[in-house]
Amino acid sequence: MQEKPTLRQRLRARTENKASATGVKLPLLALALGLAALGLFRWAQTDRARMDAFIERVSMPYKRLFSALADPLPFSLAELLCTLGVLWLLWLLVRTVRQMRAGHRVLARRLVSLAALAVWIYALVCGAWGVHYYGTSFAQKAGLVTDGMTVEQLHATAVWFAERVNETAHTVPRDENGRFCVEPGDILADTAGLYAGITEEYPFLDGPDRRAKPAFYSLLMSAANFTGYIFPPLGESTLNVDAPAVFLPVTVAHEFAHQRGVAAEQEANFVGVAACVASGRPVYVYSGYLFGYLHLANALYGADYALWEQTGALLCPEAIADFEANNAYWDRFEGLTAQVMETTYDAFLQGYGQELGIRSYGACVDLLVARYCPL
């Protein structure tokens, strides 16, 4: 039988309940201000010049400052913060349940506080990341025309990439089965000056070097079908080091593109390929050519199956072995988790006007053809 609360406990609970009712006003104010900030973002996003000014004067300086603070750490600060955040939420849940059982009315204040926190986190993501979707795009800055292509241009570019793949496949270490064999740690350690080559062609991509961090939760990232991500509040990139390493170099270059203000995924893919190709580092060069060929071949498959077969037949055995190893790895993770994460991220991209959603990862083909087509 549960004991009745004492007079002292009842008085204390009554006092705390009054404080709780009063204390909800501050979280409500924070929530209102956060919603106002999001409303301001939605209003400003229609003006590209305004977005460009905000990116140059606020967003990029902010990311460069906080990425510089996170850079010396050998681990992903983003992962640490997310882990601590989950633990804090679990602790808060337990504490709230205990307080409610003791007769304290804290639920409303906690829910409003959490809502305010979520809104401000999203506002920070919009200010540090979302603004780039509404500024001048990479393609516009680079002057790359992507009004369309012919099948002949697509095929010629795919063949050109296949030839480059074959030329560079023998320049990287391989195991006894002929597969790409470079330790992820060695790849991540060789990123200083990675963008030196591409900034000669596209000077607006210049920026401070930052480290690529290995993900402690790499296996979970694979289950969610992610190879890397940038954490907008810190401007820090975290990489999946459990997946086959053959595409890790180009993924690093892709995330570095995000750090330098390239938001759209199709453009970041192109920049990743171009940065690897221009880097002069055999491991990165091969990874870039292989990744570029993969996207071109996928597009050619839907455009002309016969030409796709002809182009695929050009690949050397080493490249085919790398594709087979990569496919075998990702086949293990086909399931509900990957589908849920893809759907969620698709909605996230479309929320910033990326109508292609998750498919925009393959839309770098237009840029590859515009830049590398030999015709």
Residue (of 239, 257, 242, 250) closest to 332 by Cα position: 242
Q: What pLDDT is recorded for position 105?
A: 85
Cα→Cα distances 51→20, 41, 87, Å: 40, 9, 36
Residue (of 239, 293, 292) closest to 75 by Cα position: 239
Question: Which amino acid makes up residue 269?
Answer: N
| Per-residue b or e along 106-116, where b marks 16 or more CB atoms closer than 10 Å to that residue's CB | beebbebbebb
Instruction: Chunk the chain into consecutive blocks of 10 residues (it has 375) and report each block's average pLDDT, rounded to whole numbers.
Output: 55 55 81 95 92 94 95 96 97 94 89 96 93 93 83 94 98 96 97 97 96 96 93 95 97 96 92 97 98 94 92 96 94 64 45 44 80 93
Domain ranges in the chain are 7-134, 138-372
Of all helices (H) and strands (E), which one includes residue 28? helix 25-44
Q: What pLDDT is recorded for position 64?
A: 94
Q: What pLDDT is recorded for position 357?
A: 43
Alpha helices in 174-247 (DSSP H): 184-189, 196-201, 218-223
Residue (of 211, 260, 253) closest to 73 by Cα position: 211
Cα of 369 vs its chain's centroid, Å: 24
- Strands of the sheet with 228-231, listed across from one edge: 212-214, 236-239, 228-231
Dist CA 310 CA 103 (whole Å): 74
Q: What pLDDT is recorded for position 345?
A: 39
Q: What pLDDT is recorded for position 95?
A: 95
Question: Which amino acid makes up residue 48?
Answer: R
Would you call 122 helix, strand, or coil by DSSP?
A: helix
